[in-house]
Each structure stands twice: as structure tokens, then as C-alpha cells.
Amino acid sequence: MNKLFGLTILTVMFFGAMPSSAQAQYTRQDSLRGSITPERIWWDLTYYHLDVNVDIDNKFISGKNEVHFKVLTPNEVMQIDLQPPMTIDKVLQNGKVLKVRHETNAHFIELTEMQREGAQMQLDIYYSGNPIEAKNAPWDGGIVWSKDKKGNPFVASACQGIGASVWWPCKDHSYDEPDSMLISATVPAELMDVSNGRLRKVDENGDGTKTYHWFVSNPINNYGVNINIGNYAHFSEQYEGEKGSLDMDYYVLKYNLKKAKKQFKQAVMTIEALEHWFGPYPFYEDGYKLVEAPYLGMEHQSSVTYGNGYSNGYKGRDLSSSGWGMKFDFIIVHESGHEWFANNITNIDVADMWIHESFTSYSENLFLDYHFGNKASSEYVIGTRLNIVNDEPIIVDYGVNQRGSIDIYYKGSNILHTLRQIVNDDEKWRQTLRGLNKEFYHQTVSTKQVENFISQQVGINLRSFFDQYLRDARIPVLEYFIKDNTLNARWTNCLTEFDMPLKIRSNGNEHWINPSTEWQALDLNDSIDSIQIDKNFYVGSMDVLGSQKN
Ligand SMILES: [Zn+2]
């Protein structure tokens, strides 16, 4: 989700930084967490039943996770992740206690015997501990133990980045997801737990606690799994969407009910706009929920968490400085946008996280485009360039749980906005975005798959475009001069093969030019004495001879 810093206004850095030559140092723990290790690759997750007891007074979690899996190739050692200070108390397979070798966050479980290819197996992992407390969720992660204004406990998990293994034992890598999941949370009887999917039943335990069982009938990514415990009120509505009637349920603190009924009208507006651009909401079976949480928000699958104070903007501010950012509630739109990009289409490696954040940041201006028109959308996305730093490439290193620069957000959305200009056919562009969600429905994918799909759909080879904007920190600059009423231009500050077409205006006429990295005199069939570059393209420009006459 969104990890925007306190949003210092950053200078637009057209020239950016050169690709970093300093290699980051990675540890064995980074590789164990971030790669598909031999102890992970041989088994395919099919189902989790996470069953947790939340002891709020002692900030203590205990329980078990049933891990169901299919054996892809015979093996007998399985890697499960759980971060200290949480501990694995015991692991059982067919009633037998298994040996476990611990290596900080990774735990290597020796199964009872060599697992037979094709077999469907199960392990029960018992665990407990005082999980890391999130001090500044969602920027850090762990469990938030707080109280609402009336003094009631208000508790939630948030673990993007740090990983789900901060609070429950799992295969903590995004490449593999269970096909479905049951989350059972035992909480004080006067409170309620809201997790993902649909509430299947509530057990009254007779000991001052209740157990809420939430079932998710679709694949779910690890960090999307959540618990939210509070003194909730509930209201709901139906949305007649592209795939039928969508259940939209809202859980908010009782004293915020009135404000929520007003502000959450934007939930339907969001689903309507994003279905138009991205295709059907990807989890009709599990419904859509907006759940108040004691922190800003997160894209928890089918239970989007909300803490934006029931006001528009991002914590009441406009991230674009264009005015348009105050026309919508940032958390409702952004976090719901992730249902398509993060939850439906999930990155296979953290290095590919731009797939989550760039498309979702882009969904903010698609929301504006749908409800307020094209001008609003352009002004917003261009305004968000203030947040771009161009410090390092959007994609850095694979296999080490390392995401790219903060630019996965607004440089990413500007890349997609630029691409929309290049495609120059909004319906084709919309069908491409919808096509992504259909082609990669409920899948974990790589950047290459996304790139290739887009290139194929729009019928343009975008290889150098994506290499430049995703794998290089520099922003291309159009160098030009006008001589004898002719425009001479080339791309610089870029890869040698970069050759993006560009829209310019001259004397009130619109022209497409096709510069390369070699100087060319461009025949525009027009007498040129000045040019304006279409500001929808995220590029720099420089009149090298100061030849422009305006
Ligand atoms: Zn986000």
C-alpha cells in the first residue's frame, strides 16, 4: 500500500540520478525471506486455517496455523517463516511431533517421511508470543494495540513490508498463495473481530470470549490477511456491478457511524469508477468491506482498512497540490484500487512491487477521470510529480525482499499516464487495463509478464520504454534547437535505444515526433519557431541553443 512519507514537498528532479553503482549488501536472512528456496519450491499452498487467540491485556497472541499443501516434488524439509519474538511451540503431522531447526525468521521443519509427489498433506503449527508492536503503522508493521476514544480496546494487524510472519507462521513469500483460507480469531466477548472474506459463524465460548470465523474463498496474499478488533457498528449496501450484486459491508467504531455513512458513499463511487477502468471487482464471492482501523489504512483483501479521519485528501492534504486531491478520500480510493493491483494481480517478487503501487496510484486519477473528467485526471497526476525523487530505479534487486524507490508510487502513475498518451486511444488503453485483470486474474506475476502483455495489447514494442522508466532512475530529456524553422531533436539522459514518440505543439498545431538518441532534423510539414511539449508526458526538455523565440 501506500507508504508515503510525511510528504515533504520534493523538488522535481528532471535529471534524476544515475543508476546506483553501489551494490546493496544483503544477508542470508534476506535471501531466505526473499527467494524461492529449495525448502519452499517443492510444495504448493492450498489452504490455511489460522486460528488465533488475542489476549489484549497481555498483548499476547497464541494459536495455530493449519498449513495444507500439495507435494510438487518429493522432499522432506519445509521452510516456514515466523519472526521473533514469536515462537513456534510445536509442529504436528498426522499426530506426530516434528523436529524443527530454527534460523532466526526461517524455520526448517523435518517432516515424518519423504512426501509423495501429488499428495495433499497438512501440518499443524502451534505458536505464541508477544508480536512486534507497530508504533507507526502502516509504515512499520506488527500489531497495533490501541484504544478508541471511549477507552475500548482497538487492535489491528498491519504487516506490509515486514511480512505476515511478524504475527503468524506462514510461507512468507508472495509467489505462492493458498486457494482459500479460514481465519478464526478469539477476542473479548464485548468486542468484535473483522477479518477478510465472509463471516461464517461466531462461537460464544462461555468464558468471556467469542470466536469469529471468517472465510476467504479466493487466493489471498500473506500481508492481505488481517484482524481488526474493536467496538464496531455495522452497516451495508448492495452495489449492482459488472459481475452482479456486490455485498458492501462497513464496520466502523460506533461513535463514528454517522460520519461513516456520509464519507463511505465514496466506496460505491470507487468501485463504479474502477470497474469501468479495470474490470469487475475481483472478489465478488468474498464481498467488499471497509473496516475502520487504528492507523491510516491498508489494502487488506476484501476488508480494506480505513483510518483517514472521515475527510477527503490524504490525512486532509492534497498530494497533488492541484486541488483535485481534495475531491476524494485518498484511503478509500487508493486502498480499494489495490483490490485489482496487489490483491487480484500480485507481484511474484517484492522487486516487482510497482505493479501494486504504480497502477494503484494511477487508479486515483482514473477515479477523477471517471467522475470529474479528463482535465481533472491529468492535472492530478501531473501535480503528483512533486513527490517523485528519481533516486534509484523502480525495480532494484530480485530474490532479497527488496522493493524499489518511493517512486513506485507517483513516478509509476506518471509512467502509466505517459503510456496512455503514447497509446493515444483511450478505449484501447482501458481495454488493456481490463485485460491485465482478466489475463492475470488471481495470479502472482512478474514485471516481464505485465510488460509483454501491455506491449502486445497496444501493438507497440515498449521494451526500451519500460527499461528506461522502470530499470533506470533517469528521466529522458528532449534536447532540441530550432534552426531555419526546422526542429532538431534527440533524447538524452537515457538508454541509447530509447525512442519514445512525443506529442508537441507548435503555432497552435499538434505534432507527433519520433526522436531517437541521435540528432535528427524533424520534418513537421510546418514552419517551426517554437514548441511546447505536451505536459502529460513525464519527460524533461532543454532548448540547447536557446533558439526558441518565445
Ligand atoms: Zn498502496
Cα Dmax for the chain: 89
- State the DSSP string of 312-348: SBBTTB-TTSSSGGGSSBHHHHHHHHTTTBTTTEEES
**pLDDT per residue as tens digits for the range 475-493:** 999 999 999 999 999 999 9
Confidence of residue 524 (pLDDT cuts 50, 70, 90): confident
Supply the mean pLDDT for the chain.
94
Give the environment of ion ligand 1: residues with CB less than 5 A.
1-2, 357, 360
Residue 42: HSE in the Cβ half-sphere, 13 Å Cα cutoff: 18
Ligand 1: distance of its center to the CA of 201 in Å? 31
Ligand 1: distance of its center to the CA of 250 in Å? 20
pLDDT at 23: 56
Query: In Å, how far are 14, 93, 385, 533 from 11, measured between CA atoms?
Result: 9, 57, 9, 20
In angstroms, rounded to a whole number, what is the distance separating the alpha carbons of residues 151 and 290? Answer: 22
What is the average pLDDT across 524-543?
A: 93
Ligand 1: distance of its center to the CA of 494 in Å? 28
**pLDDT per residue as tens digits for the range 279-298:** 999 999 999 999 999 999 99
Is the pTM value of this prediction over 0.85?
yes
Ligand 1: distance of its center to the CA of 223 in Å? 12
In angstroms, rounded to a whole number, what is the distance separating the alpha carbons of residues 267 and 332? Answer: 6
Residue that wins the pLDDT comparison between 545 and 171: 171
Indicate if the pLDDT at residue 465 is higher than 50.
yes
Ligand 1: distance of its center to the CA of 111 in Å? 38
**pLDDT per residue as tens digits for the range 63-104:** 999 999 999 999 999 999 999 999 999 999 999 999 999 999
In angstroms, rounded to a whole number, what is the distance separating the alpha carbons of residues 435 and 26? Answer: 36
Ligand 1: distance of its center to the CA of 159 in Å? 13
Query: In Å, how far are 178, 485, 486 from 526, measured between CA atoms?
Result: 60, 8, 8
Q: Which three cell numbers stand for residue 249?
A: 459491508
- Which residue is associated with the grid cell 470529474? 372
Extract the runs of DSSP E, i.e. beta strands, from 119-179.
120-129, 142-147, 153-158
Ligand 1: distance of its center to the CA of 191 in Å? 29
Q: Which residues contact 507 (CB under 8 A, 6 or more apart)?
A: 526, 527, 528, 529, 530
Ligand 1: distance of its center to the CA of 525 in Å? 45
Residue that wins the pLDDT comparison between 15 and 411: 411
Q: Which residues contact 267 (CB under 8 A, 6 or more apart)?
A: 248, 250, 288, 290, 332, 336
Ligand 1: distance of its center to the CA of 137 in Å? 13
pLDDT at 549: 58
What is the average pLDDT across 115-144?
A: 95
Ligand 1: distance of its center to the CA of 359 in Å? 9
**Contact, 62 vs 127, CB < 8 A?**
yes
In angstroms, rounded to a whole number, what is the distance separating the alpha carbons of residues 310 and 313? Answer: 10
